[in-house]
Structure 1
């Protein structure tokens, strides 16, 4: 028992120190301000007639703030539904997000932002790093409660790298459009996490089923995360689209998609219950599916009508997934998806990708006018026709699924190594393994200690 405590005490600090020292060294060698952030370069631009108000900061920073709130508060509190895992849900979300945004700056910079051997960063690179972090947090939802913080950091390190590769292939090589990340963020994060949790399958997880559930106040905390995500999702989808009409259109399409999705979620939740009562799990999650599904086609001329149809369908699909598909995945395929990321991010992400492919394939100059140049530049200059842009979108979905599934398979087997200190099945979904928990009820700590000692005895033969 003492040896186990020593291992737990050392593994996380050693991992954090090593990773952060490596990041600091890489930033020192490779990263510098871009021309809008560097004092000398921006001064030269202002001297040549540029106004300070033309700096990208004034356009992008409000969107960055909204996305940042989603990452740290929205995702963090959304996962607090587990009755004895609230500290870990918010705390490990905080930890892996702080690591991921630094690593993502480097990985995305290698593919998108290197000039003269340096990665040039500004407010847009901060937004993109948060997007990548969002994908990692989606995967975190699939393995929530069953993994150690060291496992989560290692998963984040590999997933951020694969995310950057997939993003480069989809956007730069294939030439697809994915403004709000239905494919690159949501579909990738969901299916990567689902494969990881399948590889880390726990046959005796039912021994922790008394903690793998919510209570009144934990569901209320999770609803706080839902509301933050719901309010800021229009900023998330529109944060890196071009200024002006495309950004305006993306926010508006997301806005109406979310509203329609919420109504269909409430309707389906009551309809699928034998007593007609609403299920808070559905409301917390499925009501957000409209934001996921509107991501790819958000900047396209989807129209408010089309956005509402997409959101309406996303809510129905998501609730049906929670009600009927999740139990099948766990029973038949042994996929233990703690937060139901397949229902909130996976299926709505695929829906969004399909909507994007269809919308792109019917784009015409009559519909877009001069705006075609901003949304589909290759179609505007005659390099390809709209139908081929639709094919590009479909190829991008296939590539994303392929990289996510293969990457999750490899990373899952890496995370199974004993050195990363996964918790035993009997104490999953339990904060007090990793945290000092105040106000424990009498006798609980003694019970948990006895379980730990029993597990240690088994490990020692």
Structure 2
């Protein structure tokens, strides 16, 4: 069974991590007890000069984004909140360990002793690496098993480390906030996997794909955490000083601009001018994604506002038009709409970064500022801004190619039956994989109530049900009743099955109140006695 696979995978892989860490991982000089000697040798007067004190606040913000922000953002599905938060927790915890190894082999390997030396900056970069996999998870949310997610994370971290090394070290592109390295790669990696795992019969779980009022509120909590901490995300690993300061400012402004644009476009394209919570939860973050590459550049405050303004429009329209188009014509089932939140804004961010780099001048940056911002040093000391712009564009292409190519390859692997993917009618549902306790009672007993009292009770709003004279023992009744008894006329509210909990005679006709999960909708009809 699937539960046996997850036991074996978790135990074996964690054991492998312990062995690999024992062989390869050591503290770096700033986290080792020899720091006191290094401090004296380098004439450092205080422990406050340790990089920990500069980086840890940003690390904590990024860490909250990974485990709370991404986790709660995906709780919008009415029956998949445990899977959204729980599997997010699982793959992030495994991913950060594997990322420390994979990124360490490329960036932190000490060739004198063959060990990977880790510190606070490695922790931040590991979280960045995990972010790419969590973005990919959004495309397949509710459609894959925990084992498939771990396999997807294993390959995703590996591909990310290679792609990051090519872009940042070999091509020498700048990408402070990861518009290309994290968001573009992660989004196209997830979309390609979703395309490979296309489910033609996913409509069997249509009733569970939507949200209810309280699940959208929880998802909005994730949005707010991400929105608040995104300036830290984009500035966490930039150089201390003006670059880090500028990255936070540019992100701060882009995010603010995106919110107003998203609200306007959402209202414009919805019936009666009402706002769609999907747009508010997701598109309001697109500005932070798009400004990532150019965050430390001299984008100027008005430039940041323009980036946020454009992304709010493009991302919201993507949810309105592109997501249904992709599912219908391209066979890409994008559960969270990551194409609109991460893929398109990530590409925009790469383009903005390339243009900003190519147009950089000494009059704006200064001689030293230009060299410091674009790291024109060593092998790249003769690089000019126009060439740097070309390198930025090349890096964007690499990110897309790694995402699409890697996703297709991993998608083929995940199609193998050994991983135990869920059946079509079990998608978007926690019950087959989690102990849910009273969840079954909520799912069945609260789904539909037959109220056969006076007609005025049938017309009562959902929150007034507690005043009905008779409800009966709902749970004991529902166990004896067949699924979806014929009632005419019927208005479906995304119900799993129908329950008749009490019938009181009223001249041959009984008013019926159908209530969906979470009491978000109700409709009234009648049935014969």
**Residues 115-126 of structure 1: pairs in structure 2 closer than 5 A:** 115=110, 116=112, 117-126=114-123
Distance in 2 between residues matched to 1:382 and 1:131, nearest whole Å: 28
Distance in 2 between residues matched to 1:387 and 1:48, nearest whole Å: 38
Structure 1 residues 34, 420: closer, same or farther in 2, change over 3 A? same
What are the ranges of 5 or more consecutive residues in structure 1 without an aligned counterpart?
Answer: 1-6, 451-461
Listed one character per residue, the Cα deviations across residues 252-279 of structure 1 (whole Å, up to 9, x for unaligned) are 0000000000000000000111311000
Distance in 2 between residues matched to 1:18 and 1:201, nearest whole Å: 30
Aligned to 1:98: 93
Aligned to 1:432: 431
Distance in 1 between residues matched to 2:300 and 2:437, nearest whole Å: 52
**Residues 46-445 of structure 1: pairs in structure 2 closer than 5 A:** 46=40, 48-50=42-44, 51-115=46-110, 116=112, 117-369=114-366, 370-378=368-376, 383-442=382-441, 444=444
Q: Is the 8 A contact 2:29 2:38 kept in 1?
A: no
Q: Displacement of 1:41 after TM fit?
A: 3.6
1:27 aligns with 2:24: no
Say which SS state the counterpart of residue 224 (structure 1) adopts: helix
Distance in 2 between residues matched to 1:235 and 1:42, nearest whole Å: 29
Greater RCO between the two (CA within 8 Å, min separation 6)?
Answer: 1
Distance in 2 between residues matched to 1:72 and 1:385, nearest whole Å: 40
Say which SS state the counterpart of residue 8 (structure 2) adopts: helix
Say which SS state the counterpart of residue 229 (structure 2) adopts: helix
Q: Displacement of 1:439 after TM fit?
A: 1.3
Listed one character per residue, the Cα deviations across residues 283-332 of structure 1 (whole Å, up to 9, x for unaligned) are 00000000000100000000100000001101101000000000000000
Q: Displacement of 1:91 after TM fit?
A: 0.2
Distance in 1 between residues matched to 2:437 and 2:300, nearest whole Å: 52
Q: Displacement of 1:8 after TM fit?
A: 2.1
Q: Is the 8 A contact 1:362 1:387 kept in 2?
A: yes
Distance in 2 between residues matched to 1:446 and 1:415, nearest whole Å: 37
Structure 1 residues 199, 446: closer, same or farther in 2, change over 3 A? farther
Distance in 2 between residues matched to 1:166 and 1:446, nearest whole Å: 54
Listed one character per residue, the Cα deviations across residues 59-84 of structure 1 (whole Å, up to 9, x for unaligned) are 00000000000000000000000000
Say which SS state the counterpart of residue 210 (structure 1) adopts: helix
Q: Displacement of 1:150 after TM fit?
A: 0.3
Query: Superposition RMSD on alpha carbons, in Å?
Result: 1.5
Distance in 1 between residues matched to 2:300 and 2:256, nearest whole Å: 14
Distance in 1 between residues matched to 2:425 and 2:94, nearest whole Å: 29
Distance in 1 between residues matched to 2:386 and 2:41, nearest whole Å: 46
TM-score, with normalisation over the residues of structure 1? 0.94
Distance in 1 between residues matched to 2:274 and 2:187, nearest whole Å: 28
Q: Displacement of 1:440 after TM fit?
A: 2.7
Structure 1 residues 264, 420: closer, same or farther in 2, change over 3 A? same
Listed one character per residue, the Cα deviations across residues 403-454 of structure 1 (whole Å, up to 9, x for unaligned) are 111100000010011111100001100001110002134484979xx9xxxx
Distance in 2 between residues matched to 1:364 and 1:189, nearest whole Å: 32
What are the ranges of 5 or more consecutive residues in structure 2 without an aligned counterpart?
Answer: 445-477, 484-529
Aligned to 1:3: none
Distance in 2 between residues matched to 1:377 and 1:41, nearest whole Å: 28
Aligned residue pairs total 442
Distance in 2 between residues matched to 1:48 and 1:135, nearest whole Å: 37
Distance in 2 between residues matched to 1:47 and 1:392, nearest whole Å: 39
Larger of the two Rg values belongs to structure: 2
Listed one character per residue, the Cα deviations across residues 179-209 of structure 1 (whole Å, up to 9, x for unaligned) are 0000000000000000000000001000100
Distance in 2 between residues matched to 1:161 and 1:377, nearest whole Å: 26
Aligned to 1:15: 9
Aligned to 1:40: 34
Q: Displacement of 1:48 after TM fit?
A: 4.7
Say which SS state the counterpart of residue 348 (structure 1) adopts: helix
